[in-house]
Amino acid sequence: MKSALQPLITPVLLAASLCAFVSPETVPYTPQITAKSLEGKLTATTFTLDQPICIFDQYVNSTDDIWLVVAFTNITSHFKNPTSQIQIPPYQKLSTALHYMTLKTSIAFYPCAENRAPSVLRVGSDTSCKDDRSLEYCNGPLPHPGPYRVKFLILDTNGSKAETRWSQQIILKQGRKARSIDTWPGRRSGTMVVITSILSSFIGVLVILFLCTVAYDFKLWRREEPAVPEEPRAGSFREREYDTHHIPPSQAPPQPPSDVPRPHSPAASP
């Protein structure tokens, strides 16, 4: 009995093993950093992608999962898609697995609707889940500047079903050390030198005008200051002078008229 079934079992197992290694279908789409004029679309821990619209409709069923794979550039050439969700490394193992998968969603998140405003996907924007290993996935901040490459991967119950192309290299912004910043003015641009010279001259003129105003006000104040009378020094005497020209001269008493008899003296009577 076993010998009779052996020829049938072998081709079935071979076909199953071949199906497991069949490459997923390629979706003709390349993820890219959004070209919109957004503030912070590329930072030290995040980057922003255009949201794919009307891309997955003919490749995805309503029960399929759409993932975003974030990987270091040096492993994308020999990257192996996971065959099940158990093989998906969490965000916390990026430094050892060199890749992780995030932003799990369904086709309902990427509807192909008319007059739909284009949106974006911000990778690395969730800071609350970076230490929580109980979550299914985490869109945590990227701990390294990269370079990274990303792609969308569609998984069903049998494994990888379809995938997009890898994006171009994505390098995050890096802060510069204070010692590496060149502060020598000789290496400034010509425009900066001209602006600095104009501002310095303008400040100098303002200082001169301020000093002139203060000096002028002080001079006016000195002119208006009342004179303090000089007090006599101790031990000195100053004779006071009087002006007598305002006193009228004394007049002689009036003489009696000549027809008035003069009184006789008692000695002259007989």
Q: Cα–Cα distance between 138 and 110 in angstroms, integer?
A: 20
pLDDT for res 234: 56
Kindly list the strands in the beta sheet with 65-72, ordered across the sheet, starting from the edge strand earlier in the chain. 25-27, 159-164, 148-156, 65-72, 99-105
CB of 12 closer than 8 Å to CB of 19: no
Q: Are strands 148-156 and 159-164 parallel, antiparallel or unpaired?
A: antiparallel
Q: CB within 8 A of 94, min separation 6: which ones?
A: 70, 100, 142, 143, 144
Please confirm whether the linkage preceding 147 is cis (ω < 30° from 0): yes
CB of 57 closer than 8 Å to CB of 63: no
**Residue 65 half-sphere exposure, CB side, CA atoms within 13 Å?**
20
Would you mind telling me the total number of residues written for the chain in this entry? 270
Neighbours of 97 (CB within 10 A): 15
Q: Cα–Cα distance between 2 and 92 in angstroms, integer?
A: 49
Maximal CA-CA distance, the chain: 217
Strand pairing partners for 27? 164
Strand pairing partners for 155? 65, 160
Q: Are strands 159-164 and 25-27 parallel, antiparallel or unpaired?
A: parallel
pLDDT for res 22: 64
pLDDT tens, position by position, for the chain (270 residues)? Answer: 444 444 444 444 444 444 445 678 899 999 999 988 888 889 999 999 999 988 898 898 888 999 999 999 999 999 999 988 888 988 999 989 999 999 999 998 888 876 677 789 999 999 898 888 888 889 999 999 989 999 999 998 888 899 999 999 999 998 766 666 565 655 566 777 788 889 888 898 989 988 888 887 777 776 665 655 655 555 554 555 555 555 566 565 666 655 555 555 555 444
pLDDT for res 19: 46
What's the DSSP call for residue 78? G
Q: Cα–Cα distance between 167 and 207 in angstroms, integer?
A: 58
Report the b/e string of 229-268 with b at 16+ CB within 10 A: eeeeeeeeeeeeeeeeeeeeeeeeeeeeeeeeeeeeeeee
Closest of 158, 159, 161 to residue 107, by C-alpha: 161
Strand pairing partners for 122? 48
